[in-house]
Chains A and B, each alone.
Chain A
Amino acid sequence: LFPGAGGGNDIQWCFSQVKGAVDDDVAEADIISTVEFNHSGELLATGDKGGRVVIFQQEQENKIQSHSRGEYNVYSTFQSHEPEFDYLKSLEIEEKINKIRWLPQKNAAQFLLSTNDKTIKLWKISERDKRPEGYNLKEEDGRYRDPTTVTTLRVPVFRPMDLMVEASPRRIFANAHTYHINSISINSDYETYLSADDLRINLWHLEITDRSFNIVDIKPANMEELTEVITAAEFHPNSCNTFVYSSSKGTIRLCDMRASALCDRHSKLFEEPEDPSNRSFFSEIISSISDVKFSHSGRYMMTRDYLSVKIWDLNMENRPVETYQVHEYLRSKLCSLYENDCIFDKFECCWNGSDSVVMTGSYNNFFRMFDRNTKRDITLEASRENNKPRTVLKPRKVCASGKRKKDEISVDSLDFNKKILHTAWHPKENIIAVATTNNLYIFQDKVN
């Protein structure tokens, strides 16, 4: 545990903001399904089960008070995807946004990719703060003037207007996935990106929507032989030829697109050997990797499986270099977690900007951080009870067995409906976004 009032380099996390409805009756559409900061950290996007995207923008420096960083306020919101029914395949297509990924900013506008199970869309978010006024032939309301009344020439000029933020879909990348898309990742060349479904990975060019290249295909000739699916994929942050994909069997494959057009044969296979005598019915299920993320440096990658977070050195395939237990106490609850389907929950994970701390969510609205240098970890809770800004969050502790100490919570009291699956860390600062089922919490480190 971080000591409560740690000195030196220990971070003290404080509540900053919470977004979303207070009521307990959560509509399905309001369930948050993805959270992502943009490259500067100025913008924070969320996607939900109802296919909507909400983007928050951080207040600029000169407006904020000295004891806190800028708040995030709504910048833009739009309907990204709609529910569809594929009559040909008798398939219902959910509008739920599975992932959002930001493009690096090239000009005044912002661009992001959002995807549901089948279709990826490129959205342009642009600001309009002036409009032309004083047309020669039109009234201000748009009606055309009677030409006979026009006696002088008037040239329109731009005048300021209230800021309007517009989102428009610029590209729609459709019909390339038979199975359900779980990941999208923008290449470091900023021209191409990959999309991955359960069995295939496709490479796209951001400008071209009618063609995509299949780069990984693990579909067996006979579906009866299916033993493994793709669970996540990501491009390397610096090497534009390298990407990784994780599987439901706990393996990660690194592929080099220079080696061949179809990267079915991996360049590296990362897998931790398992003691066969420890194997149980649950082994494969809990080894399934729900998220894979490269470190900013590109030297490491992190994987999340049901009970742990593992850090892998790309130079070492046979085992992770670090393993952090997220909620090991759940190992003796696997039977009921299987019965209520929680064992299939897909938790994500993220790095801080300097790759020194990693974070992931858990149940009971708890989330965990692991400091790779000090080897200390902390459990915090996203709750409206700690609502006052700049209130330092109190560390939480789960009592696995035996006598429960004061302030500890027993495993049986955990609320498994309160899951934190999605978290994001500002790329440069100690600001984190944590999504509970339908609320978005923003926490910051204490600034003195």
Chain B
Amino acid sequence: QDTQEKEGILPERAEEAKLKAKYPSLGQKPGGSDFLMKRLQKGQKYFDSGDYNMAKAKMKNKQLPSAGPDKTLVTGDHIPTPQDLPQRKSSLVTSKLAG
């Protein structure tokens, strides 16, 4: 009954209960390391130039197997290629703030 009272008094606790109801497997440690690790890994893509060049050397005349529809999937049969990486174009257009 005490917990129920607390949930009524503290909107934060009510929100926590809602979240745990939706995602029962949510980590035991409150909002901690998982977020931090995700934050530190921002921008990480998986491309191994060694694998890529060795594969290219082995298959001189053939096409390299490229990614299927799910480009982020890395399997044993497939080597991520530079073509799989999202194309990064620099902004050659002037900012609209200057328009």
B20 contacts which chain A residues (CB < 8 A)? 281
A332 to B98: give the CA distance in the assembly, Å: 40
Q: Which residue of A lies closest to B10 (CB)?
A: A278
Q: Does A280 contact B (CB under 8 A)?
A: yes
Knowing A21-B96, A46-B97, A92-B45, say if A281 contacts B91 (CB, 8 Å).
Answer: no
Q: Does B95 contact A (CB under 8 A)?
A: yes
The total of Cβ contacts below 8 Å across the A-B interface reads 145
Q: Which residue of B lies closest to A94 (CB)?
A: B43
Knowing A278-B12, A280-B12, say if A285 contacts B90 (CB, 8 Å).
Answer: no
Q: Which residue of B lies closest to A77 (CB)?
A: B98
Please report whether the interface of chain A is mostly helix, strand, loop or mixed according to DSSP.
mixed
Which residues of A (33-84) have their CB < 8 Å from a CB of B?
Answer: 46, 48, 50-52, 54, 74, 77, 79, 82-84
Is B12 a contact partner of A227 (Cβ separation < 8 A)? no
Is B95 a contact partner of A30 (Cβ separation < 8 A)? yes
A91 contacts which chain B residues (CB < 8 A)? 43-45
A77 contacts which chain B residues (CB < 8 A)? 94-95, 97-98
A82 to B40: give the CA distance in the assembly, Å: 21
Q: Does A198 contact B (CB under 8 A)?
A: yes
Is B15 a contact partner of A30 (Cβ separation < 8 A)? no
Q: Does A180 contact B (CB under 8 A)?
A: yes
Is A117 a contact partner of B98 (Cβ separation < 8 A)? no
B42 contacts which chain A residues (CB < 8 A)? 117, 180
Knowing A280-B10, A334-B15, say if A92 contacts B88 (CB, 8 Å).
Answer: yes
Is A283 a contact partner of B31 (Cβ separation < 8 A)? yes
Chain B residues bordering chain A, tally (CB within 8 A): 43
Is A438 a contact partner of B96 (Cβ separation < 8 A)? yes
B40 contacts which chain A residues (CB < 8 A)? 179-180, 198-199, 226, 229
A438 contacts which chain B residues (CB < 8 A)? 96
Q: Does A90 contact B (CB under 8 A)?
A: yes
Is A92 a contact partner of B12 (Cβ separation < 8 A)? no
Q: Does A416 contact B (CB under 8 A)?
A: no
Knowing A46-B97, A283-B12, say if A90 contacts B48 (CB, 8 Å).
Answer: yes
Q: Does A279 contact B (CB under 8 A)?
A: yes
Give chain A's interface residue range (CB within 8 Å of chain B).
35 or more
Q: Does A445 contact B (CB under 8 A)?
A: no
| Distance of A326 from chain B, by nearest CB (Å) | 16
B89 contacts which chain A residues (CB < 8 A)? 83
| Distance of B96 from chain A, by nearest CB (Å) | 4
Q: Does B93 contact A (CB under 8 A)?
A: yes
Q: Mark B25-48, 1 if CB is under 8 A from A, else 0.
A: 010001111011101101111111
A265 contacts which chain B residues (CB < 8 A)? none
A283 to B30: give the CA distance in the assembly, Å: 8
Which residues of A (288-344) have their CB < 8 Å from a CB of B?
Answer: 331-335, 338-339, 344
Is B93 a contact partner of A29 (Cβ separation < 8 A)? yes
Q: Does A139 contact B (CB under 8 A)?
A: no
Knowing A278-B12, A331-B12, A333-B15, say if A51 contacts B90 (CB, 8 Å).
Answer: yes
Q: Does A93 contact B (CB under 8 A)?
A: yes
Q: Does B24 contact A (CB under 8 A)?
A: no
Q: Does B66 contact A (CB under 8 A)?
A: no
A332 contacts which chain B residues (CB < 8 A)? 11-12, 14-15
Q: Can you name 20 A-B residue pairings with CB atoms under 8 Å?
A: A29-B91, A51-B91, A54-B97, A74-B97, A77-B97, A77-B98, A83-B89, A83-B90, A85-B88, A89-B44, A90-B45, A90-B47, A92-B44, A93-B43, A117-B42, A180-B42, A198-B40, A280-B10, A281-B16, A335-B18
